């Protein structure tokens, strides 16, 4: 009777040992696989395009001065007419041209100190603006502003409020191909990393797309824009 019990206990203990060994192996194998899932590589992919601007905003500003207010207003109106005639002669559409309200200052009442230091009491300015998709026409006409000088219109040099601007508005058409390119470039980097580390590239764990940036290609060619986007991807690695 005791012998049977000893045999049963031995068999039970043996089976328990085998079970623990199998469980340990499975647990160890599972942990190894689990740890392998934590092995990742994060890479960035860049896509850049040089594109021509498709909108031009061109303000033409001039200033006049006089001791007689009615004469000043008349001079502004006359110079506005000369600027409009100049733009029409260069082929600009009427719908692309607008004239701002003139700005007139009485230097004797503006409270800026000694008014006698000014040669003329009144100072006025006006801006004729061009907003057009014909960027090349703006670029070519800017070089001919000297013609306005010959008619008596002294155009103010470019500054923060009278600077020619060039815009690019076709971003939506570029987005799909640029995102694809940035993603592909990121994968190339990830595959190189995996190869160098003797690993295999797995699935994407996470991905994020940066903001699209549109900037002048350089200071000398503001009518050429550089569009840029960076995508960040994180891949799993396995042995």
Q: Which domain holds residue 59?
A: 55-166
Domain closes at, from 166, 194, 221 = 166
The string of pLDDT tens digits covering residues 51-68 is: 999 999 999 999 999 999
Q: Are residues 160 and 172 in the same domain?
A: no
Instruction: List b or e across 33-42, with b for residues whose CB sees 16 or more CB atoms inside 10 angstroms.
Output: eeeeeeeebe
The three-state DSSP-derived secondary structure of the chain is CHHHHHHHHHHHHHHHHHHHHHHHHHHHHHHHHHHHHCCEEEEEEEEEEEEECCEEEEEEEEEEEECCHHHHHHHHHHHHHHHHHHHHHCCCCHHHEEECCCEEEECCCCCCCCHHHCCCCEEEEEEEEEEECCHHHHHHHHCCCHHHHHCCCCECCCCCCCCCEEECCCHHHHHHHHHHHHHHHHHHHHHHHHHHCCCEEEEEEEEEECCCEEEECCCCCCCEEEEEEEEEEEEEEEC
Number of domains, the chain: 3
Q: Are residues 146 and 184 in the same domain?
A: no
Provide the CB-side half-sphere exposure for 164 (13 A, CA).
23
Q: Are residues 158 and 60 in the same domain?
A: yes
Confidence band of 213 (pLDDT split at 50, 70, 90): very high
Q: Are residues 46 and 63 in the same domain?
A: no
Confidence band of 34 (pLDDT split at 50, 70, 90): very low
Q: What is the CATH number of the domain that holds 213?
A: 3.30.110.170
Mean pLDDT of 19-36: 50
Q: What is the CATH number of the domain that holds 160?
A: 3.30.70.2970
Domain closes at, from 166, 183, 218 = 166
Q: Are residues 225 and 239 in the same domain?
A: yes
- Residue 6, pLDDT > 70, answer no
Q: Are residues 195 and 239 in the same domain?
A: yes
* pTM metric for this prediction: 0.75
CA distance 61 to 223: 21
Domain closes at, from 140, 166, 192 = 166
Which of 9-13, 108-112, 129-133, 226-230 has the least mean pLDDT?
Answer: 9-13
Q: What is the mean pLDDT of the chain?
A: 86
């Amino acid at each position: 009777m005791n012998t049977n019990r000893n045999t049963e206990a031995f068999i039970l203990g043996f089976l328990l040992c085998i079970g623990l060994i199998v469980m340990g192996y499975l647990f160890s194998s599972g942990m190894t696989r689990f740890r392998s899932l934590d092995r990742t590589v994060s890479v960035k992919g860049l896509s850049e395009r040089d594109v021509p601007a498709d909108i031009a905003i061109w303000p033409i500003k001039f200033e006049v001065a006089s001791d007689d207010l009615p004469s000043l207003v008349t001079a502004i109106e006359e110079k506005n007419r000369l600027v409009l005639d100049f733009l029409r002669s260069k082929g600009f559409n009427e719908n692309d041209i607008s004239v701002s309200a003139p700005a007139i200052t009485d230097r004797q009442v503006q409270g800026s100190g000694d008014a006698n230091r000014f040669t003329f009491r009144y100072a006025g300015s006006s801006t004729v603006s061009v907003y057009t998709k014909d960027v090349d026409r703006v670029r070519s006409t800017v070089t001919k502003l000297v013609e306005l000088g010959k008619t008596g219109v002294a155009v103010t040099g470019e500054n923060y409020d009278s600077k020619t601007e060039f815009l690019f508005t076709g971003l939506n058409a570029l987005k799909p191909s640029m995102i694809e390119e940035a993603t592909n470039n990121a994968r190339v980097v990830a595959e190189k990393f995996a190869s160098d580390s003797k690993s295999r590239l797995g699935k994407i764990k996470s991905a994020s797309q940066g903001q699209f940036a549109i900037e002048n290609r350089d200071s000398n060619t503001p009518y050429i824009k550089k569009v840029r986007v960076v995508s960040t991807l994180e891949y799993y690695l396995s042995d």
